[in-house]
A and B are shown apart, each in its own frame.
Chain A
């Protein structure tokens, strides 16, 4: 899915800012991809074109690296991204029930985006906050000790 023209300019700007920040070197590829992903929300095709041009790296290599790492997305994401910790320590203290509650509330499965483009639901690796599990991250906000009843209240805050 190609971004429209206005967004295209945004993407180019984000790429150029990232390359200016880190330098046009192949070693800096992952920091650059991270920053663009953060700015734009994901890594569209236009981003790969521009990075390929500036770093003189083939697109296939960019795609190979981007698709390897979980926190980089080549698919568009919703306005808000929910990351849910799927690891054992959260799982054994009630994480399974919270996960089900989120899926039921939003009516989507893992890696899906709601039809109104508002929410994307993904799992994340252990965030190291196991003492306060189950843990849920919405954009940059971290929620600990989550129970299923709290899910609607937490998500309502992002209307």
Chain B
């Protein structure tokens, strides 16, 4: 592999091409040849450097300087200044590099990027980029300097816990798989990231697939496996494509297949796509799906490490768990264990979604508080509205109100608070959210995704959903809350898998922290946040209304009546609560009650 002292990335997006990017690139290369620098400076094509209206533009690494508004004639000066004299050619520098990545901004002060370190910075379809960032060094170390037992020891020492949500110590899991009798053994990656609002895994698979592949090869060496599967959900077609390209490139380089890197160790890896079933994120359902069956969970024990895929010992871990492994091996377990809290070591990616200013992916060490995440990292509530609740852990996680903002985030703390870590989705809700509607919404989701195998989940979630829908429709009954308490407890205790066990959690947590909202819906038939359509009324204020008739003319169901220049009236029985009248009123005379 050739080493250059500098790389120049020229943007060839359509806008830049239209402005002559290729002419600039040719001129640059000609100039570099003329100055005898072509063996030292590599010129490459790239995309998405910056603001599109500033092209043609390019980036020079390792300095990271961004030059824009370039013409072919500028190249002689640029090469002389930058590459011969070693100075930044100021006249071509834009003031600020504009980040066009909506999902992953530059790290904020409190973040530490381990898993996300390469995302957005390397070309995921070029294995050499990954190798240049110390990629596959860990694998080399493992294959030639360590025994499988030593590898497992290192992972145990790091304190890494499963990042899929359960948080089981990864080193221990590998130990069980290694100790199990049976052959062949399988290594599986759970890339069925189904939690709504969670897209960390997706980004890693699309942006840094080799970190996962390398982690899996190391795991396979540790447990004695020669065949692996990455089960990726069908809703992530780009991730599937990127993985397949990465696997092909790794194979071509001798990093997968027979006798990896010339060692005695062989390992094959295959991508399997899901077909749209949230429950296939549950490990036993996932394995059933790979076997070509309905994705229905199985009772455990036996655990996958003993009897998993095709009834053989299998190690199954989440994308993020594997992505941490190369760094842990390369930089050492002590480095990793130096971050985080006593029982939750290392970092975790989170996806901030909802009513927060900066949505997107973050990665922080365990121990930061929810307040720090929402306000320091997330920038606070959108439009500076008031914080109401934060849901952690996905659709089976709990909603925590303001009083929990100073909770340090780690596995134990969140579970004790009545929620869970889950995969790392954080949905932030402001004062205009109805918590009963949210509970109903999540129950709708889990009910739909229930596989149907066990009665408590299949029937129980449906009953809970029916009650919540009735409450939101203004038909709540006095004993509904007691019934909900009872049903939730039963389903949680008696369901076969994590989906059923966790499905009641949003309901339980909102009943605990926002019971008054439920009571308002049931007793007063009122929705305090003015969200539930059946419980709100659009009313025109007498004294403010000028009788201009604009609202009446725009109402799609003719619910508004009134003479010109007299206060208009909305008939609540006809009104469908679409909100158009409020939008078109020029006098702010319409309110929701």
- Beyond A72-B275, A87-B196, is A127–B294 a contact (Cβ under 8 Å)? no
Q: Of B103, B203, B277, B427, which contacts A68 at CB under 8 A?
A: B277
- Find residues 125-157 in chain A having any chain B CB closer than 8 Å to their own CB: 125-133, 140
Identify the interface centre among B234, B351, B355: most chain A CB within 10 Å of its CB. Answer: B234
From B277, B427, B429, A70 is in contact (CB under 8 Å) with B277
Q: Which residues of B contact A34 (CB under 8 A)?
A: 234, 273, 275
CA distance A86 to B272 in the complex (A): 25
Tell whether, in the assembled complex, residue B197 and residue A130 are in contact, meaning their CB atoms are under 8 Å apart: yes
Whether B359 and A71, one on each chain, are in contact in the complex, defined by CB atoms closer than 8 angstroms, is: no
Indicate whether B387 reaches chain A with its CB closer than 8 angstroms.
Answer: no
Bound-state Cα–Cα, A127 to B235, Å: 6
Contact indicator B275/A69 (Cβ below 8 Å): yes
Q: Which of A29, A65, A69, A128 interacts with B236 by CB under 8 Å? A: A128
- Asked if B278 CB lies within 8 Å of chain A CBs, one says yes
**CA separation between A10 and B185, bound complex, in Å?**
40
Partner-contacting stretch, out of B127-135, B284-292, B368-376: B284-292
Q: Which residues of the other chain, B, contact A90 by a CB distance below 8 angstroms? A: 196
CA distance A65 to B274 in the complex (A): 12
Q: Beyond A70-B275, A89-B354, A92-B354, is A126–B290 a contact (Cβ under 8 Å)?
A: no
- Verify B196–A33 contact, CB threshold 8 A: no
Q: How far is the CA of A28 from the CA of B270 in the complex (A)?
A: 12
Chain B residues, CB < 8 A from A125 = 194, 196, 235, 276, 278, 449
> Quick check: B353 and A89 within 8 Å, CB to CB?
yes
Contact B359 A131 (CB under 8 A): yes
**Are A93 and B354 in touch, CB under 8 angstroms?**
yes
User: Shortest beta-carbon distance, B535 to chain A, in Å?
Assistant: 16
Q: What chain A residues lie within 8 Å of B292 (beta carbons)?
A: 26-30, 65
B195 in contact (CB, < 8 A): yes
Q: Is the CB of A130 within 8 A of B294?
A: no
A124 to B353, CA, bound (A): 18
Q: Would you list which residues of chain B between 212 and 238 have a CB under 8 Å from chain A?
A: 234-237
* A130 to B291 Cα, complex, angstroms: 31
Cross-chain contact A27 with B275 (CB below 8 angstroms): no
Q: Quick one: which of A30, A126, A133 has the most chain B CB within 10 A?
A: A126
Given contacts A68-B295, A88-B438, whether A130 and B359 have CB atoms under 8 Å apart is yes
Which residues of the partner chain B approach A71 to less than 8 Å between Cβ atoms? Answer: 234-235, 275-276
Contacts of B199 in A (CB 8 A): 126, 128-131
Q: Kindly list chain A residues whose C-beta atoms are within 8 Å of the C-beta of B438.
A: 88
Decide if A124 touches B293 in the complex (CB within 8 Å). no
A71 CA to B203 CA, complexed, in Å: 22
B276 touches A124 (CB 8 A): yes
Whether A64 is near chain B, meaning CB under 8 Å from some CB there, is yes
- In the assembled complex, the Cα of A33 lies from the Cα of B276 at a distance in Å of 12
Closest to B579 in A: A97
What's the Cα separation between A70 and B195 when bound, in Å? 16
A69 to B234, CA, bound (A): 10
> Which A residues between 1 and 58 are near B, CB-CB below 8 angstroms?
26-31, 33-34
Closest to B193 in A: A128
Contacts of A72 in B (CB 8 A): 275-276
Q: How far is the CB of A147 from chain B (nearest CB, A)?
A: 13
> Residue A91 at the B interface, CB < 8 A?
yes
B359 and A128 contacting across the interface, CB-CB below 8 Å: no
Q: Is B174 an interface residue (CB 8 A)?
A: no
In the complex, the answer to whether A124 meets B196 with C-beta atoms within 8 Å is no
Give chain A residues whose Cβ lies under 8 Å from the Cβ of B293: 65
A64–B294 Cα distance when bound, in Å, is 7
Interfacial chain B residues near A124, Cβ < 8 Å: 235, 276
Q: Which residue of B lies closest to A67 (CB)?
A: B294
- In the docked arrangement, what's the CA distance between A27 and B395, Å? 30
Q: Decide if A88 touches B275 in the complex (CB within 8 Å).
A: no
Residues of A with Cβ closer than 8 Å to B?
A: 26-31, 33-34, 64-65, 68-72, 86-93, 124-133, 140
A and B contact pairs by CB, cutoff 8 A, 8 listed: A30-B289, A30-B292, A31-B272, A65-B293, A69-B274, A128-B193, A131-B359, A132-B103
Contacts beyond the supplied A124-B235, A128-B235: 8 A-B pairs with Cβ under 8 Å: A34-B275, A68-B277, A68-B295, A88-B354, A88-B391, A128-B201, A130-B197, A132-B102
User: Considering the complex of A and B, which 3 residue pairs feature the smallest CB-CB distances, nearest first?
Assistant: A87-B196, A70-B276, A128-B199
